[in-house]
Copies of this chain bind each other. A is one copy, B any other.
């Protein structure tokens, strides 16, 4: 039986990175609520559905979370099949859990459909192997700010031996730099900053922990961007010098 609401991960942008399950759900949906960061080409998979834009971009005028949830509930109670399209994966910094819990508490069956999370796609798009043996013991996905407005425990994260992948970090680079250096992270630790991962406008700025804030300024790095911090950020798995993913790379190891 189909749920009343699908919370669908749209992946990083490239429509081909949608899952088959997401495409199937979009094809069945009567109404599709779309976040800002979802590539418009993805809507080709639901040509007959009613499209409702519910962007919620940080710092800009946007649709409140509460309103979006009530909208899903209203449509579901009208008997419509609702798809909510979010960038990346709904449960990786996407509030998928909160929305699913809220809908469940209101008696609406919903299902989360996984998507390729932006951090993993961004690394792959520029040829970074996130868990390369000998360079990392794993990978940690974090945002640059926590719910209460604070910062993650950079000190513990810096010591964990995992590659750090930071979402929503562009505005916090100076703070992160200070925290990571204070935690004892080597100033020369490689950093890759990837803008518009998987999209035609993808750009990469290669830097270090010491230089990342200045380099991002000079590069005019803009959100949405993903930061990869760790030895793997200087590693490339595609050796071909004409690999398209590397064409936009600017090496700025000024540290």
Interface contact A132-B92, CB-CB below 8 Å:
no
Interface contact A162-B142, CB-CB below 8 Å:
yes
* A160-B157, A238-B110 known; A142 vs B132 contact (CB < 8 Å): no
Interface residues of A in 108-152 (CB under 8 A from B): 109-112, 114-117, 120-121, 123-124, 127, 129-134, 137-143, 146-147, 152
Question: What B residues does A18 contact at CB under 8 A?
Answer: 19-20
**Nearest B residue (CB) for A7:** B237
* A156-B156, A156-B161, A162-B142 known; A124 vs B114 contact (CB < 8 Å): yes
Tell yes or no: A55 within 8 A of B by CB. no
Interface contact B91-A131, CB-CB below 8 Å:
yes
Interface contact B19-A11, CB-CB below 8 Å:
yes
- Distance in angstroms between the alpha carbons of A138 and B138 in the assembled complex: 14
Interface contact A93-B141, CB-CB below 8 Å:
no
Interface contact A129-B96, CB-CB below 8 Å:
yes
Tell yes or no: A60 within 8 A of B by CB. no
* A17-B20, A140-B140, A147-B133 known; A91 vs B104 contact (CB < 8 Å): no
* A17-B20, A19-B11, A120-B91 known; A153 vs B142 contact (CB < 8 Å): no
In the complex, what's the smallest C-beta–C-beta distance from A179 to chain B, in angstroms? Answer: 13
Tell yes or no: A218 within 8 A of B by CB. no
Interface residues of A in 220-247 (CB under 8 A from B): 232, 235, 237-240
**Nearest B residue (CB) for A93:** B131
Question: What B residues does A138 contact at CB under 8 A?
Answer: 93, 140-143, 152
Tell yes or no: A23 within 8 A of B by CB. yes
Interface contact B114-A100, CB-CB below 8 Å:
no
Tell yes or no: A98 within 8 A of B by CB. yes
Tell yes or no: A178 within 8 A of B by CB. no
Tell yes or no: A70 within 8 A of B by CB. no
In the A-B complex, the 7 residue pairs with the smallest Cβ-Cβ separation, listed nearest first, are A97-B129, A104-B239, A138-B142, A100-B237, A16-B21, A156-B159, A156-B160
Residues of A within 8 A of B (CB): 11, 14-21, 23-24, 89, 91-93, 95-98, 100-101, 104-105, 109-112, 114-117, 120-121, 123-124, 127, 129-134, 137-143, 146-147, 152-153, 156-157, 159-162, 232, 235, 237-240
